[in-house]
Amino acid sequence: MFRLDADKKVHFCDGVTRRDFLHAGSLALLGMTLPEFFSLKAKGAMKDDPGKNCIQLMLVGGPSQLDTWDMKPNAPDSIRGPYRPIPTNVSGIEISEVFPRMAKHADKFALIRSVYHTAAAVHDTGCQLMQTGRLVQGGIEYPNYGCVMAWKEGPKGDVPPNVLLPLRIGNTGGNMPKGDEAGFLGKTYDPFVLNADPSDPNFHVPDMLPPDYIAALRVDRRRSWRQAIDQSVSYFESNQDAKLMDSTFHQAYTLMTSAKAREAFELNQEPEDVRKRYGMNRFGQGCLLARRLIERGVRFVTVNMFETVFNEITWDIHGSAPFSPISCYKELIGPMFDNAYSTLLEDLTSRGLLNDTLVICTGEFGRTPKINPAGGRDHWPQCWTIVMAGGGVKGGQVVGSSDDIASAPKDHPVSAGNVAATVYHALGIPLELDLPGPQSRPIPVVDRGMDPIMELFS
């Protein structure tokens, strides 16, 4: 990682100097080195086509299917929970009373009520499965959907192709990957992470330069940086292959410092009433920021609703501290999700973006059918519900069903692999695509035999 400031100057047409630019050195631009940027360019991956986009809302903690989108009002008290179902604007579809605004948009989304996985009932494995379609196995960490998209499609214009906000998922009780990185594809394709709370009154546009740049400004390291820079400049000016890269330097610099890229993060440009409709909280403003980013060319945005499940109110309703009570669904979590998600659908629709933007809402598992002694529900990966909208998904439908107590799929079981195949299908990424795995071993983008949920698109 080199510096942007320097003494000797060779000017680009816009006044930026080549030496200044070379002091960005290997750039580490959103995890991308300069040679890797050129590799992307050479592959033709730097596209400007509209294409398909995705917003993934990670409902960290694991929402209870029985208290949200797969209610069982005729089950015993110990199963059905405290909430009642309400009708939606689609005949025959009911959801929980904690989502009154969402109920008015059922024609825009589809419910998949038969999702399951067979891995350990812990947050980490569920996050892996629902963001990659696979578990880490044999030391191989599979790439997040957005990272695959960044690898295949590259940036669209000046903005990064894949953004995660506001923060990575942190401590959820394990010490395993959460499925939010590029894995074996390499750090080049990791998401740009916001690392800031967009609801903070002091929130400002994040620095498009990597954090190492700041450290590089330390005076006590100036000489070593200058020596490395001079060597890299000398190489560029003397090596014929490097000279061939000259035509892409300006575009690389633009990608790193673009006013358009920075403007995409300017939430203060949004009217106050719009911000309030999303909700003046981290998740609400995260969803608004996701819409802004998609609107301005980002291809894939992940919004983590929470950073952890400990000592804050989340979907993780075990019923006693450090977890959440079931009452929080009506008092806090339900309204927070309801406002942000409903406004996101409204905005994407009114701006003509929904048809080309898949919006997937998922937790890492469901909750136990039977309420536990603390009055909450525990982890249950055997059956739960996820929500999909946009990106060609036909709204106003339910795919699959659960048994009488929402404990297992009754029909059309949907695995994490099927979900992954569905995401890739919606994004136009061929399921037969092979990724460049470790030791040049090709790895299929999804496990062979994992089919998309085609009913969603009919």
Query: Domain segments of the chain: what residues?
Result: 1-30+209-257, 47-206+258-457
Per-residue confidence at 75, pLDDT binned at 50, 70, 90? very high
Confidence (pTM) = 0.83
Distance from chain centroid for Cα 11 = 38
Report yes or no: 326 and 372 within 8 Å, Cβ to Cβ. no
Q: What is the pLDDT of residue 262?
A: 86
Tally of CB atoms within 10 A around 259: 9
- From 293, 230, 212, select the one nearest 27 (Cα to Cα): 212
> Is 34's pLDDT higher than 80?
no
pLDDT band at 1 (very low <50, low <70, confident <90, very high): very low
Could you give the CA distance from residue 74 to residue 91 in angstroms, rounded to a whole number?
19
- 363 or 27, which is more confident: 363
- Alpha carbons 4 and 258: distance in angstroms, whole number: 15
Pairwise CA distance, residues 191 & 184, whole Å: 14
> Pairing state of beta strands 162-165 and 192-193?
parallel
Tell me how many degrees the CA angle 267-270-275 measures, rounded to the nearest 5: 85
**pLDDT above 80: residue 81:** yes
**What CATH architecture does domain 47-206+258-457 belong to?**
3-Layer(aba) Sandwich (3.40)
Task: Tell me the mean pLDDT in the region 425-433.
Answer: 96
> According to the model, what pLDDT value does residue 101 have?
98
Q: Does 166 sit behind a cis peptide bond, omega within 30 degrees of 0 on the bond before it? A: yes
252-267 pLDDT per residue, tens: 454 456 788 889 999 9
Q: Strands 53-58 and 300-304, how do they pair?
A: parallel
Q: Is the pLDDT of residue 212 over 80?
A: no
Closest CA to 58 of 315, 428, 285: 315
- What is the per-residue pLDDT for 89? 98
Which runs of E-coded beta strand occur in 231-310?
300-304
- Angle between the N-to-C axes of helices 145-153 and 416-426, in degrees from 0 to 180, rounded to the nearest 10: 30
Q: Is 81 left (phi over 0), alpha (psi -120 to 50) or beta?
A: left
Phi, psi of 71 (to 5 degrees): -75, 150
Can you list the alpha helix ranges (DSSP code H) found in 49-207? 77-80, 123-132, 145-153
User: How confident is the model at residue 227, as a pLDDT?
Assistant: 57
